[in-house]
Structure 1
Amino acid sequence: MKNLTVIENELVPVYETSAGEKVVYGSELHEVLGVKSNYREWVKRRFSDIDAIENEDFDSVEISTVAGGTPKKDHIIKLDTAKEMAMLERNEKGKQIRRYFIEVEKKYKKEQFEGLSTELQAIIMHDKKIQKIETRMDKLEYDIPLYGAEADELCNHVKRKGVAVMGGKESNAYKDTKIRSAVYTDIYNQLKREFGLYDEKGRFKSYKALKRRYIYEAHELIDVYELPVFLKEQVNDCNSQLNLSKEVA
């Protein structure tokens, strides 16, 4: 993946290789996404999350910095892989960048037909049919249940939300096993109701059965989750007992 030429620079710089492959630099994608963790940690985690293969989905490179300075390690990432990495950020910026990459792909696929003979267009149309099959395969991939890393991330999000609505890990409500269990059960049940996670007998399935296409919406639902009235009263009553005991002491 050498001899890169910038072809788009509206959001994340997109490059074209001498072979016509559309790629991005990992460090530039990381910067625009606004990821808080450092680049090395982030890119290693994301490559692992999506099972990216070196020399197939990305290439490792060293970028020269100032004269005599230590070269900076970076990665040249294929656009399809970069789209998936952006999606895993589960935020608005990740969605925006993924849509941007899709539009870039559409633009350059359309330009392939301009000025071509009928024979060449027929060849490209044949290739398009193959691409449509690949696209359907991609869609099927988003119809499968969550990957392990995605399920773990969703679980951790639920845990963080539960701690927050109960008043923290040191709160009386969090330390009460019945209340804590009721809160987490309610969060998971709300997810399952929202996304129809039922088996044939109408029983709830595991949250891990959530389709990958709904991962963004699931995280957004957790973000805005509020305790139902009866649980909120239990949490408040339990936490107020702690305050009263301190006042008496």
Structure 2
Amino acid sequence: MNKLEIIENELVPVYETSTGEKVVYGSELHEVLGAPSVYREWVKRRLSDIDAVENEEFQGVEISTPSGQTKKDHIIKLDTAKEMAMLERNEKGKQVRRYFIQIEKKYKSNQLAGLSTELKAVIVVDKRVTKVENEVKMLGRELKDFKMDMPILGVEIDEITAVARRKGAECLGGKKSNAYHDRSLRSKVYHDIYGELKRQFGVSTYKAIKRSQCQDALGVINKYTLPYILGEQIKDCNAQMNMEVM
């Protein structure tokens, strides 16, 4: 894939390999899209987002810079680059995607020009099937992202509640402690635990936390510590119990 010849340079430079494959350099695509993150982070995330297969849909390469140093880049097939552009979900991403589609149409028409009618029909059908498969694959990824962006479900609410109860009992000194059996103190502790969740995730109720944030929410609860004044109140309450026993 390394022997490349530039064939289009209107928006993003597009190259052709010795086998006729249309490709782009990842760094040049990144620059045109204007992604805010650095190239190394952006390309790793985008290739992962679309489940791109190395040495099939892209290839990592080392290229020389004007200063004589080398840097890591990627040679990416046009179909893959088109998906990456679409994931930017902005006007520049749409523009680049349309540009790639125009190039595909241009060179497909050139390739079909000398073929028989029967062979053209077979190729067209095959391309349509491939397009549908890619669209289904993309829809599946978007549906997965949509589900993870929804508020937590009942089973996840139960998990958060169970962890919060366990943490609250621990902060109160255990279920047999005087503080645990003090309804006012117990209410204050649980109110503060759930309040910390709402503060951390910017929601009005912990049930509005997204499914993708569930594990983070559990981590917040496990790391929860009592405010100083509430902690002192619990110590005093439990100390009173110890004095009564004495």
TM tier, smaller: 0.5 to 0.7
Output the CA distance in 2 between the equivalents of 1:140 and 1:21. 24
| Counterpart in the other structure of 2:30 | 30
The residue aligned with 2:137 is 141
**CA pair 32-134 structure 1, distance change in 2 beyond 3 A:** same
CA distance in 1, matches of 2:10, 2:135: 26
Report what 1:168 is aligned to: none
CA deviation profile, 1:118-152 (whole Å, cap 9, x unmatched): 3xx53233122111111122232344362656766
* Structure 1: 5+ residue stretches without partners: 156-173, 189-205, 209-249
The 4+ residue runs of structure 1 with deviation greater than 4 A are: 147-152, 174-177
SS of the equivalent of 2:142 reads: coil
Q: Is the 8 A contact 1:49 1:149 kept in 2?
A: no
**Alignment match, 1:81:** 80
Structure 2 unaligned blocks of 5 or more: 151-196, 213-246
- Structure 1 residues 207 and 141: CA distance shift in structure 2, 3 A: farther
- The whole-number CA distance in structure 2 between the counterparts of 1:53 and 1:98 is 20
Does the CA-based 8 Å contact 2:198-2:204 persist in structure 1?
Answer: no
Question: Secondary structure, in 3 states, of the residue corresponding to 1:2?
Answer: coil
User: 1:7 aligned to 2:11?
Assistant: no
Shift of 1:176: 8.2
1:232-247 → structure 2 map (5 Å cutoff) = none
> How far does the alpha carbon of each residue in 1:90-115 deviate from its partner, in whole angstroms, 9 at most, with x for none?
1111111111111111111111233x
**TM-score normalised by L of structure 1:** 0.57
Separation of aligned partners in 1, 2:51 and 2:199: 40
Identify the residue that residue 130 of structure 1 maps to in structure 2. Answer: 126
Distance apart, 1:181 and its partner CA: 2.9
User: Residue deviations 1:64-90, cap 9 Å, x none?
Assistant: 1236x3211100000111111111111
Look up the SS of the partner of 1:52 in the other structure. coil
Contact persistence 2:86–2:94 (CA under 8 A):
yes
RMSD: 3.3
Report the CA distance shift for 1:207/1:98 in structure 2 as closer, same or farther (over 3 A): farther
Give the whole-Å Cα distance in 1 for the aligned partners of 2:86 and 2:31.
15
Q: Alignment length, in residue pairs?
A: 167
1:50 aligns with 2:50: yes
Residue 109 in structure 1 maps to residue 108 in structure 2: yes
Give runs of aligned pairs for residues 125-204 of structure 1, distance below 5 A: 125-144=121-140, 146=142, 148=144, 180-181=203-204
**Residues 26 and 110 of structure 1, relative CA distance in 2, 3 Å threshold:** same
Which letter does structure 1 place at the counterpart of 2:96? I
Which residue identity is paired with 1:92? Answer: E
Between structure 1 and structure 2, the one with the greater Rg is 2
C-alpha distance in 2 between matches for 1:61 and 1:12: 18
Residues 117/124 of structure 1: CA separation in 2 closer, same or farther (3 Å cut): closer
Paired residue secondary structure (2:59): strand
1: CA distance between counterparts of 2:73 and 2:199? Answer: 48
Partner Cα distance (2:123, 2:110) in 1: 15
Distance 1:63 1:15 in 2: 15
